[in-house]
Structure 1
Amino acid sequence: MSEHLSELEGAGKTVMIYDATLRDGHHAVRHQLDAEQLRVYAQAADSAGVPVVEVGHGNGLGASCLQTGRARLSDDEMLSVVREALRNSRMAVFMLPGWGTAADLDKAIVHGADIVRIGTHCTESNLAERHLGLLRERGVETQGVLLMSHMASPQRLAQECARLAAYGANAVGIMDSAGHYLPADVRERITAIRHEVDVPVLFHGHNNLGMAVANSMAAVQAGADIIDSCARGFGAGAGNTQIEVLVPVLERMGFSTGIDLYGLLDAADIAERVLMSAPPAIDSVGVVSGLAGVFSGFKNRVLDVSRSEGVDMRDIFFELGRRQAVAGQEDLVVDVAQALQASQTA
């Protein structure tokens, strides 16, 4: 089979698979994974040869709070458990400036984080400069990523990624935080970024419109080197790119991941059994969130407020999209619902 695959378009190019199950998946369970759940999945991913395993609160280091949801475990506890469970895989953490601080980064380094990813809104890469500089001084491998990337043009994204690289990021790229993209959108953006930077390019997809795997393939075909994914798609809203689907599709197209298929399938089965009550599904909420271009992590908050205020969740999502709401603005959901309710009763 490998001889046949080498003749296909991938021609053996290595694609790094970045497993965000234990970070993005936290959104799906209101950040309530416990130590044993983290340990069991981390060990399974490690055994399968997954190169990078990310862990933390869904919104990253320092983000556990009433506004975004308090995690069952502290950052220290999560990092300690996963670091101990990983024998070969590298451990990654994620931080959004404003939620996390330099002190949080230092603690992550002490706990043995191999990769630190700094995220900013798609037009605010300058907010990452200080933290990327600090990490560069510490000698830590870093990645810079732009959230809600559908809100900016391909050219603007390329410029922002070039800044992240100039600040010291060892890899740069974009998140389709709302699951809004189609493959042509991804291809255009990754191509633009690839032309502007000399470091590896990454892509993180969500599955609101059922496009996560297709969008990830479009990213790779356009030159992306790192693709995010989660077991069973376990992640915010309608879920992420499904790792146990992505990897064999990549391999079938001639790309190399270095991951053992049987081990990966076993890890996905373990994830479904241990981490979640049910795998993410593309329900009505997911579709509307994707169409509206609203961060998938808003799902639970919107549903809660929709019920309490008696306002259609679809109206809330489309209004949030119109206002270009971003992660961290969860309080806006109540304002939107109350404004819609007032307009309906006026």
Structure 2
Amino acid sequence: MTQQTSESAQKLEEMFAISPYNQLALSGVGPIKDVKIFDTTLRDGEQAPGIALSPDDKVRIAQALDSLGTDIIEAGFAASSDIEKETLRQIKDLNLNATVCSLARSVHKDIDAVIDSGLDYIHTFIATSDLHMQYKLKMTPEQVKERAVDAVEYAREHGLEVMFSCEDATRSRMDFMKEILLAVQEAGASSVNIPDTVGVIIPKAYGNMIAELHKTLKIPISVHCHNDMGLALANSLAAVENGATIVQGCVNGFGERTGNVALEEVAVNLFANYGVKTYDLSKISETSALIERITGFSMAANKPIVGRNAFAHESGIHVHGIMNNTATYEPFLPEVVGAKRRLVVGKLSGSHAVEGKLEEMGVKFPAEHIDELMEAVKKMSISGKEITDAELMAIADDIMWKKSTERKECVLDELTVITGRSTTPTATVTITKADGSKVTVADTGVGPVNAAVNAIRKAVNSNMTMEEYKLSAITGESDSMCQVAVTMKNVQNDGNISFGRAVGMDIVETSVDATMAAINRDFARVKHDKKEC
């Protein structure tokens, strides 16, 4: 390792803040020097319901996986179709740093398809559990062993490197597994794979299982963990602690049913807790996002490492801590995986988060109005909505704009709007006027906004007109806050034009607020003129 590489690794380590108890627990674990990443996103990942990759998709993903630092890419299942074989050829011809392989059943037909694809690495498999042998294969253990050995020998005779896999290994008898694995080792397999095919083993049991096989075999052991019971990552790490040196999985945790172990989680944990570098960690987020886009398979917001909320903070206490020292509420810096931190403004946000956000956007918001801003933010996010940067700026701007208007001369006390299909939109308003009188009126319109404005006109001044109405969604999304700007004329029968605006979640209420703002701005103008006289 060069001095520059050593310094880079040390700098990366300093970006983590993991538990000191981890190293205590690992004190009895032997040195783990090298672990290879075997990516099956293009094979097992594609088997996830709803994912179908074109040849071009597979090529793009293979290139991204190679750039990430993947050691082995299981790019498909050659025997499945001629298109698949041709795709494997295309990926092979990319001359990637990663080794490209294909899955194959332990039959000559499947192996021939891999040979035709031009690959020189094959992953053969056959089920070894009594359950699968009896109900799926309908074969005896002796027949299964014979088939497994024959497949390895046949592949080796044709110049292929072979990884052999015991399907449903974690429900297979240990004595039979040892027998078949020793046989394929003797037949020329360069590595074996011990999959937890339906995700049913617990970490301690899996660790013991791998340790036992590690003592028996002379070739590398690979592990392939499914996540049916949420144990895929824990099982993969337990396997590495007990001698496994190849970890199979998929980026983003795709795969059959609940998926395979997420390889980005494996890579980050291997580096943080075991000091083993596999991926170029800084490329994890971009690779994850690319695969999410291509597959159309969306990740949960709370997905570890690469989820939208992985480095998002809303709680006031958490944000305050993060702003002082990121290690308070982050196990590692987002830059490690090429991500960015998000300070989210929402229901649980404190003033530190909101002020910090505004400062990021270059907005100097007066401290004396922060309570009013916080009240507006919490009101608009009460349903769980996350306030975007643009929306926060609009709220802050709206509050400051309102501060330029003197106290309200007309107050909207009540608003009721009835609308719907085959229903005439009707609005009822109760307004306290400048002279202290209270009036309640109702009116109809071509829509709920028009009905509400008509009712306000009737209550304040029937000669008043709306000269212009502008409505926009601040972010352009379906749950975006809206911004309404109106121009009212003749509020007080003097022909003057007055402008009003408002920001809110509901189009009707926000339109009404903007209308009332224009009305009060006109009254404030007259009052100001009288003071000057």
TM-score when normalising by structure 1? 0.70
Instruction: State how far apart, in whole Å, the 2-side matches of 1:89 and 1:134 are.
Output: 24
Match of 1:87 in 2: 96
1:268-314 deviation per Cα after TM superposition (whole angstroms, max 9, x unaligned):
22111112332489xxxxxxxxxxxxxxxxxxxxxxxxxxxxxxxxx
Match of 1:220 in 2: 240
2:74 is paired with a residue whose SS is strand
When residues 176 and 39 of structure 1 are mapped into structure 2, their CA distance, relative to the original with a 3 A threshold, is: same
Instruction: State how far apart, in whole Å, the 2-side matches of 1:10 and 1:245 are.
Output: 22
| Pairs within 5 Å for 1:23-62 | 23-29=43-49, 32-56=52-76, 60-62=77-79
Out of 292, 298, 318, the position equivalent to 1:272 is 292
- Cα deviation for residue 82 of structure 1 reads 2.0
Instruction: State how far apart, in whole Å, the 2-side matches of 1:29 and 1:173 are.
Output: 24
Letter in 2 for 1:155: D
When structure 1 is superposed on structure 2, of 216-225 and 138-147 the one drifting more is 138-147
Match of 1:107 in 2: 116
Instruction: State how far apart, in whole Å, the 1-side matches of 2:264 and 2:122 are.
Output: 24
CA contact under 8 A between 1:204 and 1:227: conserved in structure 2?
Answer: yes
Match of 1:154 in 2: 174
Match of 1:168 in 2: 188
* Bigger helix share: 1
When residues 241 and 267 of structure 1 are mapped into structure 2, their CA distance, relative to the original with a 3 A threshold, is: same
Q: Answer 1 or 2: higher relative contact order, Cα 8 Å, separation at least 6.
A: 1
Instruction: State how far apart, in whole Å, the 1-side matches of 2:293 and 2:245 are.
Output: 30
1:253 is paired with a residue whose SS is helix
| Pairs within 5 Å for 1:176-187 | 176-187=196-207
1:55 is paired with a residue whose SS is strand
- Cα deviation for residue 30 of structure 1 reads 6.0
CA contact under 8 A between 1:147 and 1:175: conserved in structure 2?
Answer: yes
Instruction: State how far apart, in whole Å, the 2-side matches of 1:32 and 1:44 are.
Output: 18
Instruction: State how far apart, in whole Å, the 2-side matches of 1:277 and 1:125 are.
Output: 38
CA contact under 8 A between 1:11 and 1:255: conserved in structure 2?
Answer: no
CA contact under 8 A between 2:267 and 2:278: conserved in structure 1?
Answer: no
Instruction: State how far apart, in whole Å, the 1-side matches of 2:238 and 2:101 are.
Output: 24
Instruction: State how far apart, in whole Å, the 1-side matches of 2:161 and 2:276 are.
Output: 22
CA contact under 8 A between 1:229 and 1:241: conserved in structure 2?
Answer: yes
- Cα deviation for residue 102 of structure 1 reads 3.8
When residues 125 and 78 of structure 1 are mapped into structure 2, their CA distance, relative to the original with a 3 A threshold, is: farther
- Cα deviation for residue 160 of structure 1 reads 2.1
Match of 2:124 in 1: 118
2:42 is paired with a residue whose SS is helix
Match of 1:18 in 2: 38
RMSD, aligned α-carbons: 2.6
| Pairs within 5 Å for 1:199-238 | 199-238=219-258
- Cα deviation for residue 234 of structure 1 reads 1.2
CA contact under 8 A between 2:210 and 2:242: conserved in structure 1?
Answer: yes
Instruction: State how far apart, in whole Å, the 2-side matches of 1:100 and 1:151 are.
Output: 28
- Cα deviation for residue 99 of structure 1 reads 8.7
When residues 156 and 279 of structure 1 are mapped into structure 2, their CA distance, relative to the original with a 3 A threshold, is: farther
When structure 1 is superposed on structure 2, of 23-32 and 168-177 the one drifting more is 23-32
Match of 2:217 in 1: 197
Letter in 2 for 1:144: F
- Cα deviation for residue 158 of structure 1 reads 2.4
Q: Is 2:256 the partner of 1:247?
A: no
2:194 is paired with a residue whose SS is strand
Instruction: State how far apart, in whole Å, the 1-side matches of 2:109 and 2:271 are.
Output: 37
CA contact under 8 A between 2:120 and 2:159: conserved in structure 1?
Answer: no
1:267 is paired with a residue whose SS is helix
1:159 is paired with a residue whose SS is helix
- Cα deviation for residue 134 of structure 1 reads 2.1
- Cα deviation for residue 11 of structure 1 reads 4.2
Runs of 4+ that moved beyond 4 A: 1-5, 7-12
- Cα deviation for residue 39 of structure 1 reads 1.4
1:161-218 deviation per Cα after TM superposition (whole angstroms, max 9, x unaligned):
1122112100012111111111022112211211111000111000111110100001
CA contact under 8 A between 2:224 and 2:236: conserved in structure 1?
Answer: yes
1:208 is paired with a residue whose SS is coil
- Cα deviation for residue 29 of structure 1 reads 4.1
- Cα deviation for residue 28 of structure 1 reads 0.9
Instruction: State how far apart, in whole Å, the 1-side matches of 2:288 and 2:206 are.
Output: 26
In structure 2, stretches of 5+ residues that fail to align are: 1-7, 15-22, 130-143, 302-533
When residues 135 and 31 of structure 1 are mapped into structure 2, their CA distance, relative to the original with a 3 A threshold, is: farther
Instruction: State how far apart, in whole Å, the 1-side matches of 2:125 and 2:210 are.
Output: 17
- Cα deviation for residue 255 of structure 1 reads 4.4
CA contact under 8 A between 1:17 and 1:257: conserved in structure 2?
Answer: no
In structure 1, stretches of 5+ residues that fail to align are: 65-72, 282-346
Whichever of the two has the greater Rg, that structure is: 2
Match of 2:87 in 1: 78
Letter in 2 for 1:78: T
